[in-house]
Amino acid sequence: MSPRRWLLAAACFVCVQLVRAGEKTLVLLDDHSIAYTHSIFFNSLKDRGFDLEFATADHSSLVLVKYGEYIYKHLVIFSPSVTEFGGKLNTKAILKFVDDGGNVLIAAGPSIDEPLRKLATQCGIEFDETKTNVIDHVNYDVAGTGQHTRVVIDPDNVIKSIPIAGKPLSAPLLYSGIGLVVDPANSLATTIVHGSPSTYSYYHDEKITVYPHAVGKTTGLVAAVQARNNARVVFTGSLDLFSDKFLTAAVESAASGSKRFEKSGNEDFVRALSSWVFHHSGVLRYSNVSHHIVGESESPQFYTVEDDVIFSLHIEEKVGGVWQPFAGDDVQLEFHRIDPFVRLPLIPNNGDFSLRFTLPDVYGVFRFQVDYRSLGYTFLYSASQVPVRPKRHTQYERFIVSAYPYYTGAFSMMVGVVLFSAAFIFHSDPVAKKSKDE
């Protein structure tokens, strides 16, 4: 091999290693057998460029930070029954990891213990009691046991968001695990998959004596939290959701009128879900922000009230790990002081968003502000501060239409004074004639 080709191959190798290092992911398991029973899912992650490092959740050498830097970009926790994380890993360290921008995928189960339950609570998600199951006596899989805990989830129960769940599923999901509930007061948490009206969460081998923790569509199966720093955390109560058995299994609901599907929709769903939580989809970025007066190309030091201006920026979306122009049509621009004085939709054109509008007749310090928040996408915020001054005295019109009544009053007064003065000066009273007797 020539030196030139050798250098080129070495450069390519280094670039690949850098990319792989940027996607380094720690996978925590109850035991290493899960790496084999869930091999299809883990292999799909590897095919998408994730560098997986497997370890048991209670291993004594676990650490996320070394020399002040995070070793991993993502974290997968497939260890429902862990009673205590090993090494320097704990709930506080995982929350700090999220606060610093890390992404976490967590799969629990009926054997869930305190660490995962506490972690979920901190994110506004509450799992049901240990040893409970999601049960559905109508929509259960005919291949399951008589306990009806192998539940068939209709595609309509999956969130309608392409970035999160991908395209609409062509087959139902299989689910076997514990239920969860999302705190409605948490605006950052979202239910991704919920149960059917006949679903509930309870102990499968006990008679119901108290109202279940979750009933019907309030029974959460998969939930997610997107933090304000755009870090993502996904919780699910089913480790089997990602298993080879469920990814390749045929599905047939016991509900009347249901048909058989040769393969469940689990594989498509977990692939889309993992791409979303690990920032391979649903990620937005902007560039080329500009604003200027119509007819000019450079941004001025200040604007004048009622100027005609043009604002534009370019927005890209990451889809499958590749950046491409964003195709959304609901991005808005606000011309903002304390409150928005102007709020108008930006016009899209292959990722370029622009708008021409007239500044309000109000002066002060304003911002061209784009604050885009849409389900499934990272938060997009852009703000450019500009001063807006009043018009100079030479910039006003000679005659203002709204002042016409005052002009009329002034001129009518002048005309009246002239007429009165003329009448006063040139008018005299007639002199009375004296009589002969006088």
Sequence-separated (6 or more) residues with CB below 8 Å from residue 174:
141, 150, 151, 152, 153, 240, 241, 246, 249, 251, 264, 266
pLDDT tens-digit readout, 33-79: 999 999 999 999 999 989 999 999 988 889 999 888 999 999 999 99
Distance CA 155, CA 164 (A): 14
| pLDDT given for residue 206 in this prediction | 84
Pairing of strands 173-175, 151-153: antiparallel
Distance CA 366, CA 125 (A): 39
Pairing of strands 189-194, 220-226: antiparallel
| pLDDT given for residue 9 in this prediction | 53
Sequence-separated (6 or more) residues with CB below 8 Å from residue 385:
365, 366, 367
Go through the chain and tell me how many residues it has. Answer: 438
Distance CA 196, CA 158 (A): 11
Sequence-separated (6 or more) residues with CB below 8 Å from residue 264:
171, 172, 173, 174, 246, 247, 248, 249, 250, 251
Where does 244-307 show beta strands of DSSP type E? Answer: 251-252, 260-261, 283-293, 303-304
Within 128-203, residue ranges assigned H as helices are 162-165
Q: If DSSP states are collapsed to H, E and C, what string results for 397-434?
A: CCCCHHHHHHHHHHHHHHHHHHHHHHHHHHCCCCCCCC
| pLDDT given for residue 319 in this prediction | 86
The single-letter DSSP state of residue 158 is B
Cα 340 from chain centre: 22
What does the block give as tokens for 14? 């280094």
| pLDDT given for residue 434 in this prediction | 62
Tens-of-pLDDT digits for all 438 residues of the chain?
A: 555 555 555 554 444 444 444 589 999 998 899 999 999 999 999 999 899 999 999 888 899 998 889 999 999 999 998 989 988 899 999 999 999 999 999 999 998 989 999 999 999 999 999 999 999 989 888 887 778 889 999 999 999 999 999 888 989 999 999 999 999 999 999 999 999 999 999 988 888 888 888 888 999 999 999 999 999 999 999 999 999 999 999 998 888 888 889 999 999 999 999 999 999 999 999 999 999 998 888 888 888 888 899 999 999 999 878 899 998 888 999 988 888 888 999 999 998 999 999 998 888 899 999 999 999 999 999 999 999 998 787 777 777 777 888 888 988 999 989 988 888 888 777 766 666 565
Residue 51's CB: how many other CB atoms inside 10 A? 18
| pLDDT given for residue 431 in this prediction | 66
Distance CA 311, CA 332 (A): 11
Q: If DSSP states are collapsed to H, E and C, what string results for 134-149?
A: EEECCCEECCCCCCCC
From residue 87, give the alpha-carbon distance in Å to each of 82, 90, 191, 338.
13, 8, 32, 49
> Which residue, 255, 270, 179, is CA-closest to 216?
179
> Which residue, 241, 165, 235, 153, is CA-closest to 197?
153
Distance CA 30, CA 192 (A): 25
Q: What are phi and psi of 3, to 5 degrees?
A: -55, -35
| pLDDT given for residue 352 in this prediction | 92
The H or E element that residue 74 is part of is strand 74-78
pTM for this one? 0.81
217: amino acid identity, one letter:
K
The single-letter DSSP state of residue 217 is G
The set of long-range contacts for 342-348, using a CB threshold of 8 Å and a minimum separation of 24, is: 346/311, 346/313, 346/370
